[in-house]
Amino acid sequence: MVTKLRHLTALLAAALLTGALASAVQTQVSLSALLALGAPLTTPLWLITTLQDVATFGPVMTGIALVALLLAFTVAHLLLRLTRIQARTALLSLAAVAGLATAFALMRWVIPMPALPGTRGMPGYALMSLCALPAGLLYAQMTSPVRLAARAQRGLSAWREGAAAGVLALIPAALFAIAAPRAGAKPEPVDPASYAVQTVASGLNRPWSVAFLPDGRVLVTEMAGRLRTIARDGSTGDIALTGLPPIFHQGGVSGLMEVALDPDFASNARIYLTMGYGEPRANGTRLVSARLVHDRLEDVRVLFSATSKSTAGNNGGRLAFLGDGTLVLTVGDGNAQREEAQNRANHLGTVVRLTHYGQVPHDNPYAQRAGAAREIYSLGHRNAQGIAVDPENGELLVTEHGARGGDEVNRVVAGGNYGWPLITGGIDYPFARITPFQTLAGYEDPILDWTPSIAPAGLAIYRGALFPAWRGDLLVPALKERAVRRVMRDGQRITGEQLLLSELGERMRDVKVAPDGAIYVLTDGVDARLLRVTPAAAK
């Protein structure tokens, strides 16, 4: 029993050491990337950020290391028993490195987002894997036959070994409990008795966007590549997508996304669609227009294809029309390539501005700048999946997904830099710091941010007639929060927030305001619904 507990203590000590070292290495990789972008990092700030990551990401990394080292040491012990290998310490150390490297590789393959940003590049991947080397040495020393025999002669009790193992297990748990971010208070819900909810259609397969046809039908995109029509009575049809270029579809992260009608649809019958293009290791966001004639597409035109990226997530893909006859489209940062959101030479992490024919307006901020992508209107965005123009004042707003927190509402101005990944209120998914900065001179601050994350997937500005008290308010569908946030405003000043439809407990994908003032909401998933929300008195 004492020997087994000693091996457990050694394993926990090795995992704890690996977690601390790998956490520190990842922080150096992340901060070095920020430094290359011009972040004003001082030595004290660098040290503080490293220590914060050891406290919050270190426990997560310790858990990863524990599983990897357990498997690695098990294999190494089997080899020692079955072969005549004498280099016990070297074998255990190499096994530790190989086990951690394998764990990182599996995580990169299985998890679509960069779970460990430090392993995105080969130097970081190698350095973080090598963090298991001293852990292997430590484990080999603590479990060496000579040392175990000496401890047995001294008659050390199982109780002491068990206590040591318990303390080592409690260290990362205590650090995480103390340093992990706390959840904030949620807004109060809108009284469900004050509105009526009608299910217009159900059984939708990963719907993404809603648009309203003049004949009263609703267009709904499904990510697998289907454009559906839904009448007020719930009857459905399909638009024949003749001539549409191939759509890159991958689960709920890429596929057919936005649908929007041209402001002059009544005369030109033109609609716009956004979609993924490419393949898993080289894909991007594409904008297409076509004429909608007798429920089929004609005169299909590819207007814009954003810079390709190496992962399928963070596509952006929302579209809005400005009052000057141009359109704006959100493009995500590519997830694994977040620093590219500060690179003006490509479209990743931007809002682009085009004419309705896909041309670059001559007054775009970077239209005349050598080496810059001429389509860029603003940059420094992570993954803006909501965009809306206020018809009363022309204000352009976007909502953006943060990572773990740091979701934002931004007021977009020409040439504005919104700071990602140099500034954010969120942290990475495994609780590591993305940046120590929440604001910096020269970058635009959000008008509203949410931590913890609500996962804002769309945006509408309410200017309808059915809810007069809501005029000018923002409606933000939230995937994670499973509600629509009503952001109350007095002019452009935010005065409060409420939750709409939270009683349904469903992920919310899109929200649009119909011409009659009703609020249409798409829920998310493979069996989703289109909902119509009206005041209770208007049933």
Q: What angle do CA 189, 193, 196 make, to 5 degrees?
A: 100
Q: What is the mean pLDDT of the chain?
A: 93
Residues 15-62 pLDDT 10s: 999 999 999 999 999 999 999 999 999 999 999 999 999 999 999 999
**DSSP-based three-state secondary structure for 371:** coil
* pLDDT tens digits, one per residue of 131-160: 999 999 999 999 988 776 766 666 656 667
Q: Pick from 179, 212, 239: which residue ends a domain?
A: 179
Instruction: Please tell me whether residue 536 adopts helix, strand or coil conformation.
Output: helix
Whether 344 shows a pLDDT value over 70: the answer reads yes
> Could you give the percent of the chain with pLDDT greater than 70?
96
Q: Are residues 73 and 222 in the same domain?
A: no
How far is 370 from 93, CA to CA, in rounded Å?
51
- CA separation, residue 329 to residues 138, 308, 310, 363, 369 (Å): 54, 15, 20, 16, 20
* pLDDT score recorded for residue 302: 98
Residue 345, in any domain of the structure: yes
Three-state secondary structure of 226-288: EEEEECCCCCEEECECCCCCCCCCECCCECEEEEEECCCHHHHCEEEEEEEEEECCEEEEEEE
What pLDDT shows up at residue 113?
61
Task: Please report the pLDDT score of residue 163 as a whole number.
Answer: 80
Residue 538 scores a pLDDT above 60: no
Which of 147, 179, 211 is the last residue before a domain boundary?
Answer: 179
For 283, phi and psi rounded to 5 degrees?
-145, 165
Which domain CATH number covers 278? Answer: 2.120.10.30
* Judgement on whether residues 155 and 208 belong to the same structural domain of the protein: no
Domain annotation covers residue 456: yes
Establish if 241 belongs to a structural domain.
yes
Range of the domain at 4: 1-179
* Domain co-membership, 148 together with 210: no
Residues 240 and 373 in one domain: yes
The set of long-range contacts for 45-51, using a CB threshold of 8 Å and a minimum separation of 24, is 45/436, 48/436, 49/433, 49/436, 50/24
Report pLDDT digits (tens) over 204-250.
999 999 999 999 999 999 999 999 999 988 999 999 999 999 999 99
Q: What is the pLDDT of residue 108?
A: 81
- On whether both 163 and 128 belong to a single domain, the answer is yes
Domain count, the chain: 2
Q: Which long-range contacts (CB under 8 A, 24 or more apart) does 106-110 make?
A: 107/64
Same-domain status, 261 and 300 = yes
Same structural domain, 125 and 199 = no
Beta-sheet strand order (sheet of 256-261): 256-261, 270-279, 282-293, 296-305
The more confidently predicted of residues 214 and 169 is: 214
Task: Report, as an integer, the average pLDDT of 374-402.
Answer: 97
Asked, as a colleague might, if the bond just before 421 is cis with ω within 30 of 0, I would say yes
Is the pLDDT at 499 greater than 50, yes or no? yes
Q: Given this model, what pLDDT does residue 114 score? A: 64
Does 185 map to a domain?
no
- The band of 2, judged by pLDDT with boundaries at 50, 70 and 90, is low
Q: Quote the CA–CA distance of 291 and 163 in Å, as a whole number.
A: 73
Q: Give Cα separations from 135 to 88, 95, 128, 129, 185 (angstroms).
A: 14, 10, 12, 11, 41
Contact indicator for 400, 381 with CB cutoff of 8 Å: yes
189 domain-assigned? no
Residue 526's DSSP bridge partners are none
Collapse the DSSP code of 325 into the 3-class scheme (helix H, G, I; strand E, B; otherwise coil) and give the result.
Answer: coil
Would residue 33 count as lying in a domain?
yes
Q: Are 188 and 499 in contact (CB under 8 A)?
A: yes
Q: List C-alpha distances in Å: 259 to 114, 209, 227, 275, 320.
A: 29, 6, 9, 10, 10
Assess whether 156 and 225 both reside in one domain.
no
Q: Both 207 and 313 in a single domain?
A: yes
In the beta sheet, which residues pair with residue 456? 478
In this prediction, residue 539 carries a pLDDT of 47
> What band does 337 get if pLDDT is binned at 50, 70 and 90?
confident
CB-based burial of residue 53 (10 Å sphere; 0-12 exposed, 13-18 middle, 19+ buried)? buried
Assigned domain for 504 exists? yes
What's the rounded Cα separation, in Å, for the pair 432 and 25? Answer: 11
**Listed residue (433, 449, 460, 463) closest to 401, CA to CA:** 449
From 148, 179, 210, the end of a domain falls on 179
- What's the rounded mean pLDDT across residues 301-323? 96
Can you tell me the mean pLDDT for 364-371? 96
Judge whether residue 277 has pLDDT over 60. Answer: yes
| Measured distance CA(223)–CA(457) in Å, rounded | 14
Q: Cα–Cα distances in Å, from 17 out to 59, 98, 216, 519?
A: 10, 16, 64, 54
Kind and range of the H or E run holding 333 = none
Measured in residues, the chain has a length of 539
For 460-473, write each residue's pLDDT tens digit: 999 999 999 999 99
- Within-domain flag for 116: yes
| Residues 175-209: tens digit of each pLDDT | 888 777 777 788 999 999 999 999 999 999 999 99
Q: Name which of 499, 501, 468, 472 is nearest 486 in CA terms.
A: 499
Distance CA 459, CA 400 (A): 10
